[in-house]
Structure 1
Amino acid sequence: MTHALVLKTFPAGSPRGSWPAEEFASHLRAQGQTAEVVMDLAADAFLVVAPTSTARSDTRGDEAEPLRSAA
């Protein structure tokens, strides 16, 4: 089991799909932070996550919460 920190969530029903999440993750990567977009099927949302070893506390206004996946 791997652990990640959820940096921000985006609704999957958005007309732009995953683009807002991808843009946010790209912005974080440009600043040197590891970030990727994953889909949370249960919540019907795109999550921008970072591995806990590189996650920072700066969440740009959203509360960060741990994410555990079986990946």
Structure 2
Amino acid sequence: MQATRQRFAALQAQAAHAGVALRPPPPEPTTCCGRGCNGCVWEGFYAAAQWWCEDAQGALAQPGGGPS
């Protein structure tokens, strides 16, 4: 989880430096029961986090989006 938070922070800092607006990253789940369920809320979170990071990198790669 720490690595994901750090990645969010790094991309948000790059976007702020480049003047690029990003949507907020996905919120961390608060409803995990800790039983290792198939389809755990954490699986959905990490999938959404990956998509958010790819979307943020795409926005930063656009002309005027700052360094890629």
TM-score by length of 2: 0.37
Structure with bigger helix share is: 2
Structure whose residues are more often strand by fraction: 1
Q: Of the two structures, which has the highest relative contact order with CA contacts closer than 8 Å and spacing of 6 or more? A: 1
Output the TM-score relative to the length of structure 1.
0.36
